[in-house]
Structure 1
Amino acid sequence: MLHLFNSSKMFFFFIMIFSTLISISSNSWLGCWIGLEINLLSFIPLISNSNNLMATEASLKYFLTQSIASINFLFSILLKMMLLKNFEMNYFLSIMINSSMLMKMGASPFHFWFPNIVEGLSWFNNFILMTWQKITPMIILSYYFNKNFILMIIMFNAIIGSLGGLNQTSLRKIMAFSSINNLSWLLSSMMISENLWLFYLITYSFMISIMCFIFFMLNMFYINQLFINNMNSLIKINLMINFFSLGGLPPFIGFFPKWIIINFLIMNQMYLMTFTLIMMSLILLFFYIRIIYSAFMFNYSKMKWFKIYIKNNKFSLINILSFFSLLGMILSTFFFL
């Protein structure tokens, strides 16, 4: 986290935030494209770390995939300007623009770069990649989406996001597949309304930030580290609460936006999609519970010298955030009153 506070990293961090605002507030396709390019060129210095070869490799892979998506997007908007009247061509171009945006945010079936890049990044950079970097492509997608194509993509995301995480041992890859699964919910909420999408994005960002913060604080990257570490039981309970919230179990805050989305989908008679989303969330919960169960149940040899010293202010922050997760549904029912 400390590496963020040198002046050059802060500069690129602010440019990254402004580039998103440029894309969102632009009134032309070209403006959106310029914002995306600035975003790409400001995020790469943040993730490339000269000491870590994995991070350097990840930044190169990220640059290549994002460049391909940008070229596709630019090609599509230029074609659109030239062939404005042709309806069949418009249908094809909408799929092209949608595909380039889906590739930019790491949605299935263009997701293959995403887990590989996530594996090379620090927890803070992962948090940015899984939350902030999805905002611009999502909003550009909402301007011009092809409904049938997006419905198919939602199904793909739900299935691949849940099945892909089953055989993973790396916590970063598990969070990456969880992010792909959550993209299906984000896209569903986008089809319903932008306010609901914003609400889902904020709650999802809140949950991901707690998870990344806990893992960053304990310096954990693989599942077996959760077994080896002689962790404080309160940390384990916090981990359990936040994993359940991320999976979308009812008493936690993560269920609330999913509940609203399910409600809207059923009202619009999208039963198959609702069924797929719920079933795949169950698989997601299965591997979350498997991690938590192992962390709780493994009998470690408790060595007296092995202790984790955590600064009290950090620990209390996690407790407060987990408390919000736990009281999520109670707090959310007050909105309806």
Structure 2
Amino acid sequence: MYLIFNSNKMFFMFILFFSTLISISSNSWFGCWIGLEINLLSFIPLISNSNNMLSTEASLKYFLTQSIASINFLFSILLKMIFLKNFEYNIIISIMINSSLLMKMGSTPFHFWFPNIMEGLSWFNNFILMSWQKITPMILLSYYFNKNFIIIVIILNSIIGAIGGLNQTSLRKLMTFSSINNLGWMLSSIMISENLWMFFLLIYSFIIGIMCFFFNILNLFYINQLFFFNMNYMIKFFFMVNFLSLGGLPPFIGFFPKWITINFLMMNNYFLLSFILIMMSLIMLFFYIRITYSSFLFNYMKLKWMKFSIKNNYMNMINYLSFFSILSLILSTFSFL
């Protein structure tokens, strides 16, 4: 809420959105690089907070990692201009450009900065980092990608995203590894079509938007806080629905883009890739269910003096947004017919 009434933050938000448009509408690699730099310099004032040492540390780490990725990107596009005629260098240069863009979006094997930075941010900044900040690198990646390299990265993303989240107690780190896993799905969808990727990103952003809004209202940051989750069962129900939707459980809306992606992967004979993505989604669902289990079934831990109260308009907003996840039960029924 602080962001809405702060004109400085709103100014940087505007530049953040504008920089993405500069990158994706540019007709040269150099223009794309300028857009990425503006994006980096507008996001740092949003995440830095002088009252919070963790946020300041996160903004410094973010600046360093993104600067390294930008330098690599600029170096790669300069090499591309020099060796334009020599086709044998093209594979190396494409892998270099891909690597720098993957580092920008926090994909494996360049994901080491991602969980540490997420841990120091507010839920609103986490939401921007998990959704909007993926758009520019992903679209630039679709212009010039090395197919074999991207397939290896997709497999690594899905495996590390699933296994990395198993031993986490922090909800922010859990959402980070969930984002890394979903990045694998997004990369496989952008290999197929840009429209499918846009649809996937829209649904994914919608679901994590609800989750981050939910965690922000209740001020939740760790799994053990859910043991004292003294709320009415309607909120707990919608909380569970959104988590299962994020995991891609069939009746809910989060399954819909994953289902389309699996269909296209199977049509293009990517059977092993589809199998790995589906198996890793099961592990993701395991720790999502562990979170909802904590909030639902630990009734004996309820404390009389620890009662959450949510303003009515917030409560209605969560209900209406979550209703879309359940509405997809009807959509999925029609799509099967």
With the length of structure 2 as denominator, give the TM-score of the two structures: 0.98
Partner of 1:163: 163
Partner of 1:319: 319
3-state SS, counterpart of residue 300 of structure 2: coil
Partner of 1:252: 252
Partner of 1:226: 226
Aligned counterparts of 2:58 and 2:124: Cα–Cα separation in 1: 14
Report the number of matched residues: 337
- Structure 1 unmatched runs, 5+: none
Q: 1:331 to 1:5 in 2, by over 3 A?
A: farther
- Letter in structure 2 aligned against 1:83: F
Partner of 2:78: 78
Partner of 1:154: 154
Aligned counterparts of 1:162 and 1:336: Cα–Cα separation in 2: 28
**Aligned-pair distance for 1:304?**
3.8
Partner of 1:262: 262
Partner of 2:33: 33
Q: What's the CA shift string for 1:6-52, capped at 9, x where partnerless?
A: 11100000000000000000000000000000000000000001000
**Aligned-pair distance for 1:233?**
1.5
Aligned counterparts of 2:37 and 2:330: Cα–Cα separation in 1: 42
Aligned counterparts of 2:3 and 2:36: Cα–Cα separation in 1: 25
Partner of 1:63: 63
Partner of 1:290: 290
3-state SS, counterpart of residue 85 of structure 1: coil
**Aligned-pair distance for 1:332?**
5.3
Aligned counterparts of 2:304 and 2:48: Cα–Cα separation in 1: 39
Partner of 1:12: 12
Asked if structure 2 preserves the Cα contact closer than 8 Å seen for 1:256 and 1:329, the reply is: no
Q: 1:88 to 1:290 in 2, by over 3 A?
A: same
Asked if structure 2 preserves the Cα contact closer than 8 Å seen for 1:106 and 1:180, the reply is: yes
Q: 1:110 to 1:301 in 2, by over 3 A?
A: closer
Aligned counterparts of 1:231 and 1:331: Cα–Cα separation in 2: 30
Asked if structure 1 preserves the Cα contact closer than 8 Å seen for 2:242 and 2:322, the reply is: yes
Aligned counterparts of 1:331 and 1:21: Cα–Cα separation in 2: 32
Aligned counterparts of 1:286 and 1:302: Cα–Cα separation in 2: 24
Partner of 1:209: 209
Aligned counterparts of 2:210 and 2:122: Cα–Cα separation in 1: 15
Asked if structure 2 preserves the Cα contact closer than 8 Å seen for 1:230 and 1:300, the reply is: no
Aligned counterparts of 1:301 and 1:143: Cα–Cα separation in 2: 53
Partner of 2:190: 190
Asked if structure 1 preserves the Cα contact closer than 8 Å seen for 2:23 and 2:31, the reply is: yes
Does 2:143 correspond to 1:139? no
Aligned counterparts of 2:4 and 2:59: Cα–Cα separation in 1: 16
Asked if structure 1 preserves the Cα contact closer than 8 Å seen for 2:228 and 2:301, the reply is: no
Q: 1:304 to 1:55 in 2, by over 3 A?
A: same
Aligned counterparts of 2:24 and 2:288: Cα–Cα separation in 1: 34
Q: 1:250 to 1:335 in 2, by over 3 A?
A: closer
**Aligned-pair distance for 1:88?**
1.6
Q: What's the CA shift string for 1:34-82, capped at 9, x where partnerless?
A: 0000000000000001000000000000000000000000000011111
- Letter in structure 2 aligned against 1:250: P
Asked if structure 2 preserves the Cα contact closer than 8 Å seen for 1:33 and 1:73, the reply is: yes
Partner of 2:109: 109
3-state SS, counterpart of residue 252 of structure 2: coil
Aligned counterparts of 1:154 and 1:287: Cα–Cα separation in 2: 21
**Aligned-pair distance for 1:326?**
1.2
Asked if structure 2 preserves the Cα contact closer than 8 Å seen for 1:48 and 1:55, the reply is: yes
Asked if structure 2 preserves the Cα contact closer than 8 Å seen for 1:162 and 1:181, the reply is: yes
Does 2:52 correspond to 1:48? no
Aligned counterparts of 2:88 and 2:5: Cα–Cα separation in 1: 51
Asked if structure 2 preserves the Cα contact closer than 8 Å seen for 1:160 and 1:181, the reply is: yes
**Aligned-pair distance for 1:333?**
5.5
Aligned counterparts of 2:187 and 2:298: Cα–Cα separation in 1: 38
- Letter in structure 2 aligned against 1:112: F
**Aligned-pair distance for 1:295?**
1.6
Q: What's the CA shift string for 1:134-185, capped at 9, x where partnerless?
A: 0000000000000000000000000000000000000000000000000000
Aligned counterparts of 2:286 and 2:301: Cα–Cα separation in 1: 27
Identity of aligned residues (%): 76
**Aligned-pair distance for 1:336?**
8.4
3-state SS, counterpart of residue 230 of structure 1: coil
Partner of 1:121: 121
**Aligned-pair distance for 1:268?**
1.0
Alpha-carbon RMSD across the aligned residues, in angstroms, is 1.3
- Structure 2 unmatched runs, 5+: none
Aligned counterparts of 2:98 and 2:146: Cα–Cα separation in 1: 7
Asked if structure 2 preserves the Cα contact closer than 8 Å seen for 1:251 and 1:327, the reply is: no
Asked if structure 2 preserves the Cα contact closer than 8 Å seen for 1:228 and 1:300, the reply is: no
Asked if structure 1 preserves the Cα contact closer than 8 Å seen for 2:228 and 2:303, the reply is: no
3-state SS, counterpart of residue 300 of structure 1: helix
The answer to which of 308-317 and 176-185 deviates more is 308-317
